[in-house]
Structures are given as structure tokens and as C-alpha cells.
Structure 1
Amino acid sequence: MGAGGKDEGRISAARFADEGRAAVERAIAANKESVAAAARLFADCVAADGVIHGFGTGHSQATVLEVVGRAGGYIPTNRIGLADLVLRGDEDRATLADPLLERTPGLAKRLYELAAPRPQDLFVIVSNSGVNNSIVDMALLVKEAGHPLVALTSLTHTNSVPALHPSGRRLAEIADAVLDNCAPSGDALLPLPDGNALCGVSTITSAMLVQMVVAESVGLLVAEGHEAPVYVSANLPGGHERNTVLEERYAGRIHRGGF
């Protein structure tokens, strides 16, 4: 049953739906200023003929896909992923079988170089914990190069764990705008009898925040007289052809590979 029902404490679909809705509402309420700040950065980037680069590892890649290359989202977006080492670098595909690849020293630098960003480009880095080495490495590289940076993380999680990077810094401490997905530490939402938990919520709240930023930033572009280069579904009549024409403006700068 829903909130207030006799099965309120039972593990169930209804309970997760209730808790998930509450998490979304918390994220919306907590991020009004952050959404506005991130939207300004998105709009300025697109207006300056920039590209929005999305980077994340593990399940955070699901949120990167909300930023990059989806129907209803921006066309000038580039996905940075570990597979770039093979797809656009010179690494053997066996490299990707290493379960600890994302912890490799110098990985972020190589991925940044393969992305070949221009000065006006913007980066969006997604990490629930915000403390993994490759994530912080990339954030530091991005800021050292002078790019604006939007972080999407869980402030509850990142503030509850030690900083792992040698710099002692976390993703949220480096970014120009921080979107808090309001996920609990560890992401899982429903407690289990053994003290663990299940049902991650960060992807749901993060998707909401990304789409809010897209909506707000497109509103800024339109109000300021700029074109908003947005994808339509390739499964609509003429959609693929329209998208292809717009993609040509960013030839060589936008990629959809990686995992």
C-alpha cells in the first residue's frame, strides 16, 4: 500500500514508488538555484558554439546518457567513456576487461585528450560518491584547462565517505555548479532486515535534474534570440534527416560511443 497504509513498512513496489516520488520532490526543492546556475552554463556553452561533454563511470553512465545524444536533448553533446581508449585511441580492446581500469593513473588525461575539447566547451561529470580517482582527476583537468564544470552527485554520500584522491578533494568541491541528486549514502533506498538496502534512486532523481537543466537552458537560449539545437526522435518521420543536418555543424566533435 501507499504511504499511511498498513503495509507501509513492507518491502514492495508501492513503497519504493512512494519513497522514489519523495526523493524526486526533495531533489527538485533542493536544486532550484543549482539548476538555474547549471542552465546558465549550458546556454552560454551552446550559444558560443560549444559542446557539452558528459563523463561518468559505472552506473553513472546512465545519467550521462540523459545529457548526451537523446531525443529532446542537445545535439552538441559528446559522451566520454572508457571505450574511447579503443574506439578513438590506440589501446587493445583487452584493456577494457580490466575491472580496475577506471582507477588507472593518467586515465582521465588520456580520455580528455581524446575528447579534444575546445575552450568554450562545458563538462558535466556524474558520480554518486564524487570521490573516485578518475572522476576527481577529470574534474581537476577540466578546471585547469579553464572549462566550466557541472557536477551531478549525492552530497549525502560524498560527505559521508573519505576523499580518495591524493588531492583530498571531491567532485562537488571542484565544480562551478553542483546538482545534488539527493540519493542516500550508497544510493539504495529501501532498508533490508539485515541492515543493507535495495533499489537505487540516483538515476531517477538525476534524470529529473538533467531534464530540468535542459528545459531551463533552452528557455534562456530562446529568450536571448539563439537557436536551440535539439534532437527530435529518429523514429519520427524526417527526424533522422533533420538531426543529421544539425550534427554536421559539430563534425568530429561529438561522439556517441563508450561504455
Structure 2
Amino acid sequence: MTEFNDFGYVEKAFANIREVVAKQGKNIHRAASLMADAIAADKLIHVYAGGGHTTLAMGEMFFRAGGLANINPLMETALSVFNQALKYLELERTVNFGSSIIKYYDIQKDDLVIIFHNIGINPATIDAAAEIKKRGGRIIAVASSYWQSEMPPDHFIRHPNGKNLFDYADVAIDDYNPVGDAVVNVPGLDTPIAPVSNVVDFTIAHLLEIETVRLCVERGITPPVWSSANAPGGDEKNAAYLKKYKPLIKSL
């Protein structure tokens, strides 16, 4: 029996996170300032994901113990990993599908939307971003500069307009996800394994929340934060937020 070996996965994931912390702090602060502004104005913070496993980052921010209660996921199951895989893959590459989701949720002028898509070039992402900007919304984009810069301009997964998610962002947060996502090479296997994008994007989501809460407290604002529904007293603490946000957030 051979000894356990992670082939450097944990260190590579932490190295990616450390790079985000070292280089993206100012952008995380700028994004959190917009989120704190939304809380101060008693508005929702909308979260969208452009398809596949990036939808899990949207889910990580929604109805989460210790998370913000005013998060509104622009949820479309057809784009998520809870759809059949080949179906969501086809739909995230379908032009105008993303814009239809933004229209359905009726994003308004000055609404704040966080968009997760580490690749940041596919039609479901670009069309959603374009529709948000068309409506006067503001965008915090979490994506990888590597994917956006290294993918060929004529690659078939790109939106026909050739734009990147960061082209639409009011604040762009680079997650430094490498092209291909998987970071471990096991000797004897040609295909890399062990992706890091969700580990890093989940961390960015929580860093945004932490900085937003800090800024709210600094401004004398009590941010709306969920308690764990599974801990004693959690349901009682959450009751007021549910009463307030259930009529406003379709996924509650």
C-alpha cells in the first residue's frame, strides 16, 4: 500500500488563494463598498453565474449561515450542474439565453449584480452582462484573466462579439484560474485532475462578505446576516429576514 499523496494540490489551491489576497485586495474592497452601499440603500445584491460549476459559487452566497440575507440569486436551473450536463453545456453556449434570465429577474438601473464565471467568455455570461449594462445595472465580475486573454479570439465557446466579462465590469476581481482548471498531474496519467476554480471562487465570495460586513459596521449599519437554521435559536433569529425578503427573492 502506497502512502497518501496529494501531489501538491492543497498548496496549489492555497497559492492561488494567496495570489488573490495579495493582488486583488483593492478590487475586493471596491466591490464590497458597492455591496455595502446596496445594504445602506436597503436594496438586494443580485448574484448570477454563467453556467456549469460556477453556479455553485452563486449557491454558496445564498441562504448561507453567516452570509448576507439580501443576496438574490438569479437562478436558472438549466445553466446549473443540476441540469443534465450536456444540456447545460449547450445552453451556456447559446446566444441570448443569458439576457433572457436578466430580463426575467427585471434588473433595474443602479442594481448591483455579482457575476461569477471563471472562464468569462461564453454567451450565457456575456449576454447577461450586456443586458445588465443596457439596463443601467452595475457589475462585480469574478473571473480569470488567463482564460479571457489566452483563449483564441475565434474559439467556438466565445460569444460572437468576442468580448470578455471584464469588459463589462464596474469592478473586476481576478481569480487567476488557469486555463483548463485542473492543476494536478499524476505520473502515468496524461489528463490533469483536481480543479481549483470553485475553491478559489468560494473564498472570494466569503472575502466579499467579510469586507462588506466590516464596512457596514464601520458606517454604523447593521448588515442583514443569516444565522444557521440548524443551530439553536437560528430559525427565530432568521424569522424577521424571511418576512422581509421572501416577497422579494424568488428562490426563498
Match of 1:183 in 2: 177
Residue 11 (structure 1) shift: 9.6
Deviations 1:27-85 (A, max 9, x none): 21121111111111111111111111111110001111222221111111111232389
Deviations 1:87-141 (A, max 9, x none): xxxxxxx999834123333322321122233444311111111000010000111
Equivalent position SS for 2:216: helix
Match of 1:62 in 2: 56
Question: More deviation in 202-211 or 236-245?
Answer: 236-245
Cα distance in 1, alignment partners of residues 214 and 230 from structure 2: 25
Alignment match of 1:24 (pick from 7, 17, 21):
17
Is the CA contact (8 Å cut-off) linking 2:141 and 2:172 kept in structure 1?
yes
Match of 1:6 in 2: none
Alignment match of 2:194 (pick from 177, 194, 199):
199
Is the CA contact (8 Å cut-off) linking 1:82 and 1:96 kept in structure 2?
no
Computed over aligned residues only, the root mean square deviation of the Cα atoms, in angstroms, reads 2.5
Q: Does 1:216 align with 2:211?
A: yes
Superposition pairs of residues 2-21 of structure 1, within 5 angstroms: 12-13=5-6, 15-21=8-14
Match of 1:136 in 2: 126
Is the CA contact (8 Å cut-off) linking 2:78 and 2:87 kept in structure 1?
no
Is the CA contact (8 Å cut-off) linking 2:75 and 2:251 kept in structure 1?
no
Cα distance in 1, alignment partners of residues 85 and 6 from structure 2: 36
Residue 206 (structure 1) shift: 1.3
Deviations 1:134-175 (A, max 9, x none): 100001111111111111111112211135222221101111
Equivalent position SS for 1:131: coil
Match of 1:98 in 2: 87
Cα distance in 2, alignment partners of residues 214 and 95 from structure 1: 31
Match of 1:157 in 2: 147
Is the CA contact (8 Å cut-off) linking 2:108 and 2:135 kept in structure 1?
no
Alignment match of 1:78 (pick from 66, 72, 75):
72
Cα distance in 2, alignment partners of residues 185 and 105 from structure 1: 23
- Moved beyond 3 Å, runs of 4+: 94-99, 117-120, 192-196
Percent identity (aligned):
29
Question: Match of 2:121, as an amino acid?
Answer: V
Q: Does 1:109 align with 2:99?
A: yes
Using structure 1 for the length normalisation, give the TM-score: 0.84
Question: Match of 2:230, as an amino acid?
Answer: N
Cα distance in 2, alignment partners of residues 210 and 118 from structure 1: 23
Is the CA contact (8 Å cut-off) linking 2:143 and 2:174 kept in structure 1?
yes
Deviations 1:228-253 (A, max 9, x none): 00111001122123223113223332
Match of 2:168 in 1: 174
Question: More deviation in 187-196 or 73-82?
Answer: 187-196
Using structure 2 for the length normalisation, give the TM-score: 0.86
Question: More deviation in 231-240 or 183-192?
Answer: 183-192
Cα 1:148/1:77, change in 2 over 3 Å: same
Structure 2 unaligned runs (5+)?
Answer: none
Cα distance in 2, alignment partners of residues 65 and 159 from structure 1: 27
Cα distance in 1, alignment partners of residues 92 and 199 from structure 2: 24
Between 1 and 2, higher relative CO (CA 8 Å, sep ≥ 6) is seen in 1
